[in-house]
A and B are shown apart, each in its own frame.
Chain A
């Protein structure tokens, strides 16, 4: 599946929900299911400190593919991380660097990636993109 197809798939999953609470119920479930980052990797250098919630990101490029695991102390943030990981994990640095992550907006979660939200998600996406760009350089 291409990066774009993965985004489409998420958008169609979310179109099944009638209201916000159902959407969030699903995100929370994703958050609960997301494999935790290896506790040994929950170190300060992997910590992105938001004003509201914290995010730990372990990102590397192995065999020209993005390898991501991430975690958060807030479940909703973690659920959204789960979606981002699903879209970006295993993609080439080039795909990651140029990705337009429109699905977040399409499913109505843009607020979570806004600079004022300060939950660490925007910084996480930036870090992943920078890593991809560095690999390309």
Chain B
């Protein structure tokens, strides 16, 4: 894939691809800084969704007729594309899911069923609730022990504590690649090497990384990698679980139904092979196809250009916000990207978020589904601006002026 000529990185041109960015909110030009929650969709993806439902709609893997074969072929071609995009070895390793949450629950249920009482699962203090609660449920079900890698005051994982927590009892380490609240980029390679050294498997929550940085699952050597389509310019309701084939082979199915079986009798059912073993029922066909389209859209660009540009946006915003009196940046890791989370002394994030909204600026306020992390920083929540490659410095300037105005109204 690396061989094709890449499209020139021009933010002005990229913005033209996203119709949702061209609108006014409360009479102001929309500034969309809530990309951590979900991304906007390029016209290419919108067209693909429309094309699927207006022309190719048919159920897959089960029809002799032309349309079904066409839809099946597009769905499987997309799987193949996703496989190459994240550099998985085989397409059997690409399981379509509803999203990150679904992928984590699948692994917690299915991989979890192979574990036994006393085994340990290691997560980190900066995990999204969706990478906490499935493990808590599993631990309750099976008598496992959940341990948490702490973070330092900059919002970086304490690697020495991580190494101390690791032992032969550790069966799985489930960590996020990039923190949705702090922007911290975790040192995955170190984590994975250390985990493997004690025989533990590693699940990477890639919900916040695939849209910002290159993903190569073989190079990382992670055992599982999960992400959501909607955060990488694709549809909602679709996502991917990558798992190493030998592991997926050993894991029992997650849900039963059509598509995931080889042969069913009332006495005994045998399961379909990978990846279908984990894909019960009619999937989100349009989603699967258009997630491939979204990655193709992103892949027109050099991902390094995207990464560098987004980092420069975050740095620019962070430098400006830091100058306000009483503002504390939450998450000052050396290696971070795309997110600026902050708290203003004596002011509630909800108030600032409400005033920004009325100035046409979409940010997220609150705990960002990372309540334990907020407790560690001793705040109820933050105001989070999260950037995508279609955002601009001019938008940040407007945002900074709006933050300043909001603070002065509230003080």
Give the interface of A toward B (CB within 8 A): 19-21, 24-25, 28, 51-53, 73-77, 119
A-B contact count (CB 8 A): 40
Whether A73 contacts B409 in the complex (CB less than 8 A), given A21-B358, A21-B359, comes out as: no
A75 x B355 contact (CB < 8 A): no
CB nearest to A54 among chain B residues = B380
Q: Are B351 and A75 within 8 A (Cβ)?
A: yes
Q: In the complex, are the beta carbons of A24 and B354 less than 8 A apart?
A: yes
Bound state CA distance, A24 and B27, in angstroms? Answer: 16
- The answer on a CB contact under 8 Å between A52 and B410 is no
Taking A28-B410, A52-B350 as contacts, is the C-beta distance between A73 and B359 under 8 angstroms? Answer: no
User: A74 touching B350 by the CB < 8 A rule?
Assistant: yes
Q: Which of A19, A21, A74 lies in contact with B351, CB distance below 8 A?
A: A74
B78 within 8 A of A: no
- List 13 interface pairs A-B (beta carbons < 8 Å), by A numbering: A21-B355, A21-B405, A24-B355, A24-B358, A28-B351, A28-B409, A51-B366, A52-B366, A73-B348, A76-B354, A76-B355, A77-B351, A119-B350
> Cβ of B349: which chain A residues have Cβ within 8 Å of it?
52
Q: Is B348 within 8 A of A53, CB to CB?
A: yes
Q: Residue B365 at the A interface, CB < 8 A?
A: yes
- Decide if B348 touches A74 in the complex (CB within 8 Å): yes
Partner of B358, one of A20, A53, A77: A20
In the assembly, what is the distance between CA of A21 and CA of B405, in Å?
10
Task: For the A-B complex with A20-B26, A52-B381, A75-B410 known, give 6 more contacts whose Cβ atoms are closer than 8 Å.
Answer: A21-B355, A74-B348, A75-B347, A75-B351, A76-B350, A77-B351
**Measured between alpha carbons, how far is A75 from B349 in the docked complex, in Å?**
10
Docked complex Cα distance between A24 and B359 (Å): 11
> Which residues in chain B, 76-118, are within 8 Å of chain A measured between CB atoms?
none
- Which residue of the partner chain, among A20, A21, A77, contacts B350 with CB atoms under 8 Å? A77
| Closest B residue to A72 using CB positions | B348
In the complex, which residues of chain B have a beta carbon less than 8 angstroms from the beta carbon of A53? 348, 350
Across the A-B interface, give the 9 residue pairs with the lowest CB-CB distance, nearest first.
Answer: A74-B348, A20-B358, A52-B350, A74-B350, A53-B350, A76-B351, A74-B351, A75-B351, A76-B354
